[in-house]
């Protein structure tokens, strides 16, 4: 049996490079609470993402959860259920009501045609998701948000380094949340960041992630603890040096998948959007009219020690914890896609031979069925 192939594998710098980066932590013994490496990483990421305002967090989820609190959003927030648990939970954990909008069948982002009909006098914000790094229809979202005076926060957990017509996605909307989790294109082990348009938010966010403390004897907000520590920041400083090469390697693998799987009946691929520089974060495939169902393909690969993932199934509006509140029937396209989508292994060091093998298993599975 071949070695297991997981859906992804963390990118890591050489051990020597990381050890060199963390050495001085033993001199100054300053390990967290917005230390030197934290500040350096913020500056370097602002440059890389070409955006003026950034605040680091211990993970992407808390960044989003605290941002919603800091913006003092109220009532209802329009979002999509085709996402990781985090997006919906961040809304609900702030005491707000998520209102689910359906997704586009081609790029799985929020369907703007339906957006206006979901807005009520209680709506305070829209939280769309750049799912798999596909960029939402930001121009239409911006138009609607302006018309109804709503905040726009992008869940950009998948969209690190993505640009649209040359503009970094970190500059869209009022704010964006990025995840630097171990499974992401750029990681700080666990980690995340917010980018935002209003520079005065920086102090508020820094305070929110540090218990709401604003001075030696003042606590102005009911914040919590979501600071990135110096070891995380050190990992980020190292990984950032290699991220362009990582994305390039992913592109080669992505293109190999396309070469292998293009033009197979029943297999729909999500090709890069026009004007978008992708980060090749995920390789989602829709099985629709293929001789095997999505679940059968998943099980066939698993038998061969290849672990694809059903990102995103189940939809968040069908989670057990929301059983009595929401239903996936309100978002029929998302429900349809979630039943048919499978994300294939994709990471910088995946060999092209392994990509060919994965694709060959899928192609031969058709003949086995016949
Ligand atoms: N919004 C969206 C749209 C998101 O996708 C996410 C996170 C968030 C918000 C929240 O951001 P964070 O708070 O996480 O920063 C994984 C990740 O844990 C999660 O970060 C990510 N989305 C989600 C899509 O995927 P799981 O439960 O699938 O992870 P797990 O542990 O099964 O790992 C998947 C594979 O990754 C493993 O089979 C092997 C590989 N792996 C995993 C870990 C933990 C590594 O190579 N190294 C590792 O350290 O959620």
Among 198, 214, 237, residue at a domain's last position? 237
- DSSP E strand stretches across 216-361: 218-219, 267-269, 276-277, 283-287, 341-344
Q: Quick one: which atom of ligand 1 is closest to the CA of 61?
A: 13
Query: Which among 183, 281, 306, 315 is the best mutation to test ligand 1's pocket, defined by most ligand atoms within 8 Å of the CB?
Result: 183
Q: Return the residue matching tokens 């939809």.
A: 315
- Of 234, 237, 235, 213, nearest to 223 by C-alpha is 213
> Is residue 8 domain-resident?
no
Q: How many domains would you assign to the chain?
A: 2
pTM of whole model > 0.95?
yes
| Bridge partner residues of 343 (DSSP) | 284, 309
> Under a CB-based contact definition with an 8 Å cutoff, are residues 237 and 20 in contact?
no
Q: Which domain holds residue 312?
A: 243-369
The reply to whether 69 and 169 lie within a common domain is: yes
Among 208, 237, 266, residue at a domain's last position? 237
Which pLDDT tens digits describe the chain residue by residue (370 residues)? 789 999 999 999 999 999 999 999 999 999 999 999 999 999 999 999 999 999 999 999 999 999 999 999 999 999 999 999 999 999 999 999 999 999 999 999 999 998 999 999 999 999 999 999 999 999 999 999 999 999 999 999 999 999 999 999 999 999 999 999 999 999 999 999 999 999 999 999 999 999 999 999 999 999 999 999 999 999 999 999 999 999 999 999 999 999 999 999 999 998 889 999 999 999 999 999 999 999 999 999 999 999 999 999 999 999 999 999 999 999 999 999 999 999 999 999 999 999 999 999 999 987 766 5
**Cα 134 to averaged position of ligand 1 atoms, centre (Å):** 18
The reply to whether 72 and 194 lie within a common domain is: yes
> Is residue 2 domain-resident?
no
- DSSP E strand stretches across 186-334: 192-196, 213-215, 218-219, 267-269, 276-277, 283-287
The reply to whether 219 and 260 lie within a common domain is: no
The reply to whether 41 and 178 lie within a common domain is: yes
The reply to whether 228 and 284 lie within a common domain is: no
Among 214, 237, 260, residue at a domain's last position? 237
The reply to whether 217 and 280 lie within a common domain is: no
The reply to whether 206 and 142 lie within a common domain is: yes
- Tokens coding 273: 């959007």
> Is residue 310 domain-resident?
yes
**Cα 306 to averaged position of ligand 1 atoms, centre (Å):** 17
Rounded to whole angstroms, how far apart are CA atoms 210 and 212? Answer: 6
> Is residue 1 domain-resident?
no
Q: Name every protein residue with a CB atom under 6 angstroms from any ligand 1 atom.
A: 6-10, 59-61, 83-84, 86-87, 129, 155, 157-158, 179, 181-183, 192, 307, 311
**pLDDT score, position 277:** 97
> Is residue 10 domain-resident?
no
């Amino acid at each position: 049996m071949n070695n297991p192939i997981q859906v992804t594998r963390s990118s890591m710098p050489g051990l020597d490079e990381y050890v060199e980066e963390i050495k001085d932590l033993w001199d100054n013994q300053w390990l967290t609470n917005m230390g030197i490496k934290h500040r350096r990483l913020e500056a370097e990421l602002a440059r890389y993402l070409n955006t003026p305002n950034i605040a680091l967090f211990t993970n992407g989820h808390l960044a989003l959860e605290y941002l919603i609190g800091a913006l003092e959003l109220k009532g209802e927030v329009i979002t999509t259920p085709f996402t990781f648990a985090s997006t919906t939970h961040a809304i609900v954990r702030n005491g707000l009501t998520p209102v689910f909008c359906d997704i586009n069948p081609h790029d799985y982002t929020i369907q703007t045609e339906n957006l206006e009909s979901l807005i009520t006098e209680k709506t305070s914000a829209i939280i769309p998701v750049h799912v798999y790094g596909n960029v939402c229809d930001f121009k239409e979202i911006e138009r609607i948000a302006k018309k109804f005076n709503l905040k726009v926060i992008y869940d950009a957990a998948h969209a690190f380094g993505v640009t649209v017509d040359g503009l970094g996605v970190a500059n869209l909307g009022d704010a964006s949340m990025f995840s630097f989790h171990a499974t992401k294109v750029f990681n700080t082990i666990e980690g995340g960041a917010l980018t935002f348009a209003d520079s005065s938010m920086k102090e508020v966010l820094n305070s929110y992630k540090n218990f709401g403390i604003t001075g030696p004897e003042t606590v102005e907000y009911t914040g919590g603890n979501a600071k990135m520590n110096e070891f995380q920041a050190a990992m980020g400083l190292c990984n950032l040096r290699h991220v362009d090469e990582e994305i390039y390697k992913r592109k080669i693998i992505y293109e190999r998948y396309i070469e292998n799987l293009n033009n197979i009946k029943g297999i729909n691929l999500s090709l890069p959007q026009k004007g978008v520089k992708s980060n090749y974060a995920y390789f989602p495939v829709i099985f629709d009219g293929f001789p095997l169902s999505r679940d059968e393909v998943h099980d066939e690969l698993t038998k061969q020690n290849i672990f694809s993932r059903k990102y995103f199934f189940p939809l968040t509006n069908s989670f057990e914890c929301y059983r009595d509140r929401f239903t996936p029937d309100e978002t029929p396209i998302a429900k349809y896609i979630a039943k048919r989508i499978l994300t294939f292994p994709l990471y910088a060091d995946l060999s092209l031979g392994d990509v060919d093998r994965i694709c060959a298993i899928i192609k031969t599975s058709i003949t086995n069925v016949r």
